[in-house]
Structures are given as structure tokens and as C-alpha cells.
Amino acid sequence: MKTCLAFFGMWLVGSGCHPAWSQSVSVVRLAQLESLLNKTDDTLRVVNFWATWCAPCVKELPQFEAVRQKYANRKLSVLLVNLDDPSDLTTKVKPFVKKRNLRSRVVLLDEPDQNAWIEKIAPEWSGALPMTLVVNRSKHIRKFIGKAFKEGELETIINAYKPE
């Protein structure tokens, strides 16, 4: 059981060392997402909140894919948190992830009370998409980006935190 849990943890992190773990979208609740954001290891996490219906989100997804590849040998992981309606998981989200060939870890957050969970994830966030957090709890890193990235902006932010 212990091994199983540890394995699940690794799988949830979906870090750069598992590039082959693609095309699957798992459904998570807030508690799982929070524990991921609050991990105290040395991996810098780029956590992007997006939806298939959000055009600026879709437009910037390749930037996250590029960063994941570029920093594959560093302690950096990319997590794409999808906010489509859970009922669209198999009809929209999974086909989208497949079609776009997304290799970053994708989870769908299933939490109905947005007013409750938005504040817990980012108190400064109004709920506008896209939104990205760059976090590492143990290094006191927490950068909130409440809009789409300009070209190269994400890398500049990542480099400022010098991922190992």
C-alpha cells in the first residue's frame, strides 16, 4: 500500500522524468491539488490553470510544453490544471489533450464551489483565465501570474528562480 501511495504521488507530480506519461487526464479534488502545490521538495513547479474554451490559454499551452522540454534535466515540473466542466472530460478535454499532443501532466480539477476553492489556491486571483503559479514551498517561492505570458516571459521567471 505504501509503495502504491508513493507511486501515486510520483505519478501525480508528473515531473519531467516521466515524459512518456502522456495523454491521460486524471480528475483531482482540491486537497490533492493543494498537497501538490505545498510539496516541500526541491522541484520548481509551474502550475497553469486553463480551459479548452479559453482562447488565450490554448494559445500559450505550447510555451509550457517548450519549457517542460527545455528544463527536462532540471528540477522543474509542469502541471496543467484544466477547469473545463468535469462532464466534458471524455468529450472535450481528453480529445483536446490528444490532438494537441500535450506531454505535460494534465489534471482536471473537479470542485463545484469556485468561490471556495479559488481563494484557497490563490487569494489574489479573481478567477480570470489563464493563471499560472510558479511555486516551491521549501524555497518560499510563490509567483502569481494572472494573465497570459508574453513570448519568453515564462522562461525569464523560471530562470530567476534558478531551478537546480
Q: 40-78: string of b/e by CB count within 10 Å (b at 16+)?
A: eeebbbbbbbbbbebeebeebbebbbebbeebeeebbbb
Least Å distance between CB 146 and other proteins?
7
DSSP-derived 3-state class of residue 2: helix
In the bound state with other proteins, the residue whose beta carbon lies nearer, of 103 and 154, is 154
Among residues 4, 126, 151, 152, the one that binds other proteins under rule CB under 8 A: 126
Q: How far apart are CA 151 and CA 99, in angstroms?
A: 23
- Shortest gap between Cβ of 126 and other proteins (angstroms)? 4
The least distance separating other proteins from the CB of residue 89, rounded to whole angstroms, comes to: 14
- Cα–Cα distance between 125 and 120 in angstroms, integer? 10
Segment 93 to 112, residues that bind other proteins, using CB under 8 A: 112
Residue 147 in contact with other proteins, rule: CB under 8 A: yes
Q: Are 34 and 121 in contact (CB under 8 A)?
A: yes
CA distance 132 to 44: 13
> Given the complex with other proteins, which of 129 and 154 has the nearer CB atom?
129
Q: Does 140 bind other proteins (CB under 8 A)?
A: yes
Question: How many residues in the chain?
Answer: 164
Q: How many residues bind other proteins (CB under 8 A)?
A: 25
Torsion from C-alpha of 141, 145, 151, 152, nearest 10 degrees: -10
Q: Tell which positions 76-95 bind other proteins, by CB under 8 A.
A: 83, 85
Residue 53 touching other proteins (CB under 8 A): yes
Does 46 interact with other proteins (rule: CB under 8 A)?
Answer: no
Q: Interface residues with other proteins (CB under 8 A)?
A: 51, 53-54, 56, 83, 85, 112-115, 118-119, 123-130, 140, 142, 146-148
